[in-house]
Structures are given as C-alpha cells and as structure tokens.
Amino acid sequence: MKREKFSNFLVALEDCPPLRDRVSAVLLSLPEEVQQDFLDDPAFRIDLEDIAPGRGSRTFLALPISCASVSRSVVLRRKLATSSEAFAHYIIAHELAHAFLRNGGWQEIVDREEAADALALTWGYPRPGTDYARIGMPGAK
Ligand SMILES: [Zn+2]
C-alpha cells in the first residue's frame, strides 16, 4: 500500500487508527505537487491534539531548518475519528491546505480561511453544507 509514503506523518496518529486512516486517505488523494511539498519538508508534521484537564494543551513543533524557513504543523482533534467522514475529510484537507499555503492566501484570495477552503475544495473536499454555486467560490463545480 502507498500509505508507507506518508508513514512519518502518521506516527503521531498510531493510537487512533480511524483518524490515521482518514488522514492517510486525504494525503493520498492530494495532487502530486502538494504531497511532494510535504514530503520534502523535514519540518512538516501532523499531530493529534494533546489536551489534559487542568494542564491545557501542548503541541510539538519541529525546529525550523534555517532562519528562512518555518516549521509547519497540522494538529487534529481526536473527535475527527468519529465525526462524519465528509466532515472529517474536509477539516483534514482544510488544515493541510493551510500548511501548503504556509498559512497565507491563495490566488486572489487574501483571507486565510477562505483560501484554505477554496484550495480544499479543488482537492475534492467541500465544506459540508456550503452552497458554493451561490457564493461563487473559485473551483466550484
Ligand atoms: Zn482554517
């Protein structure tokens, strides 16, 4: 299975197999250039949100490789393992879009959230319940 290609990104999700499989499915569906962008970045990682009552949450970030680079981290909530598949896939794609865009805009879209949604849509992951034809998002079919 091609999943091994992304095994380094899925390590943190090993104790939550349903979520690991959902993230794997989304990663494998992404355009080659997007997959390669993540694979080529040693400072890119995917983590499970780590929250404990009274302690708060913690996130691990890879150290940037050089002053010119940034480390990218996608942190996912455990509940994405049990929410509807369409919703979970959309959230995962949206977060990966933020990472691919280095939390910036996309094409003519300046707003980061709209940019991540628009890019995720072109990857086949629409925001559930959104009427794209009505709001005229790029990439809408
Ligand atoms: Zn977002």
What's the pLDDT tens digit per position in 91-105? 999 999 999 999 999
Task: Give the range with max mean pLDDT: 6-15, 67-76, 92-101, 127-136.
Answer: 92-101
Query: Is 141 part of a structural domain of the chain?
Result: no
Tell whether 54 is covered by a domain.
yes
CA atoms within 13 A on the CB side of 131: 2
**Could you report the per-residue pLDDT of 20-57, keeping only the tens digit for each?**
999 999 999 999 999 999 999 988 999 998 777 777 66
30 found inside a domain: yes
Domain membership of residue 86 (yes or no) is yes
Distance CA 104, CA 19 (A): 26
Whether 140 maps to a domain, the answer reads no
How far, in Å, is the centroid of ligand 1 from the Cα of 1? 30
- Per DSSP, the three-state class of 104 is coil
- pTM of the complete model: 0.85
Instruction: Please state the separation of Cα 26 from the chain's center in Å.
Output: 8
Domain that holds residue 131: 2-135
- Answer yes or no: is 107 within a domain: yes
d(CA 11, ligand 1 centre) in Å: 23
Structurally, how many domains does the chain consist of? Answer: 1
Q: Is 64 a member of any domain?
A: yes
118 close to 139: Cβ distance less than 8 angstroms: yes
Q: Compute, in angstroms, the gap from residue 106 CA to the centroid of ligand 1.
A: 13
